[in-house]
Amino acid sequence: MPGPLCALDASLVGTENTGDSAYWAGLIGALGRVAPNDEFLLLSNAQPPSWVSDLPANLRWIVLPPRPGRWLRAVTMPLAAKRLGARTFHTQYTLSPLARNGVTTIHDVSFFVGPEWFRWKDRLLLRSLVPGSARRARKVITVSEASKADIVRHLRVPAQKVAVTYNAPDPRFQPVGEADQEATLERLGIRRPFLLTIGTRWPRKNLRLAIAAAGMLPESLPHRLVVVGKQGWGEEGSNPRVVATGYVPNDVLPALYSAADLYLCPSHYEGFGIPIVEAFACGTPVITSPGGALREVAGGAAEVMDDWTAEAWSSKIVELLSDSSKLHAMRERGLARARDFSWEKTAALTVDVYREAAGD
């Protein structure tokens, strides 16, 4: 009998690493449904989050000895995968030379596209380790065609080695009723009406553009900007219209999206941009930049701003909030666009990647 099809690095599942955590949780949650006859090992140095207990029997959570993160991924995990007979090993970004039939997910190469968005130590580490990992891997997974093009260009790997598997919204992201919206807003101390943006406050996310645009809104519009996410670094700035919540868990976000009049995504670059699809799924109209894959993911369902000035964004916010019919049409297009993405589709494509890496 062949061994488990793949051992996955599950160490980010249930953490506050936002997009990375959402990717692994969504993929793992769907793998058992799309490949019930294959076995998957979920490797972590932590106990599983509560929802993992509901996974099918062909997914096994393996708790490894506690080790520092880099040692865990470079040595402990790939050796455990071999010992347990896994035919492939799947991690993200940095793939150990010890991995058998390694697969790495590289969400984006923004550290090459915009090195100024990173602190020098992070930039040096990523630019030193990721190109070799991509060359070493049997297959590279990424999350958009835009990101694939950048990986091929900057990491110099053959295009046929890179597979695109889109991200998707968690099924919890759907329109939330008024009563639940109000309960969430009261708990967080947020008053209507408001605009919403989500992201760790570091330079690539460019949240200062959304903050500046909100500050330019006319007094006739009482909207505040709710900024959700950890503090990060290098993105200072605020104004009286800004309400910063800090990190908010996923089970709270659908109510926030549903209660917001607009979602703003001013990011300089995204390999995918999960929040705009989450907003679509909750029926929230979106204004986004064209950074990285955002235009591709929006698919005509959002207002894409080619002008990066706060004045242009503020003007667009005023225009949309004054046009209820356009907002309604954007909500309908967003809901339809969200249905184009599912973790089942992503998991099925990922299983194909595992089989190819294993030589099946």
Whether CATH 3.40.50.2000 fits 178-338: yes
Contacts 24+ apart (CB under 8 A), 154-160: 154/109, 154/112, 154/113, 155/106, 155/109, 155/112, 155/130, 155/131, 156/131
CB burial readout 80-118, b (16+ within 10 A) else e: bbeeeebbbbbbbbbbbeebbbbbbbbbbbbbbbbeebb
Length reported for the chain: 360
Residues 19-28 have a mean pLDDT of 89
Strands 162-164 and 139-142: parallel
Give residue-wise pLDDT tens across range 316-349: 999 999 999 999 999 999 999 999 999 999 999 9
Q: Looking up tokens 């003007």, which residue turns up?
A: 315
Half-sphere exposure of 221 (CA within 13 A, CB side): 22
SS3 235: coil
- Angle (nearest 5°) at CA 234 between 229 and 239: 65
DSSP 120-132: HHHHHHHHHHHHH
Band (48; pLDDT cuts 50, 70, 90): confident
Q: Where are the domains of the chain?
A: 6-168+342-358, 178-338
User: What pTM did the predictor assign?
Assistant: 0.94
Tell me if 6-168+342-358 shares its fold with 178-338. Answer: yes
Q: Which helix (H) or strand (E) holds 224?
A: strand 224-228
pLDDT digits (tens, 9 = 90+) for 219-258: 999 999 999 988 877 666 668 899 999 889 888 999 999 9
Span 166-223, pLDDT tens digits: 999 999 999 999 999 999 999 999 999 999 999 888 899 999 999 999 999 999 999 9
Contacts of 124 (CB under 8 A, 6+ apart): none
Could you please state the CATH topology (level 3) that the domain comprising 6-168+342-358 is classified under.
Rossmann fold (3.40.50)
Report the alpha-carbon distance of residue 132 to residue 104 in Å, rounded.
Answer: 11
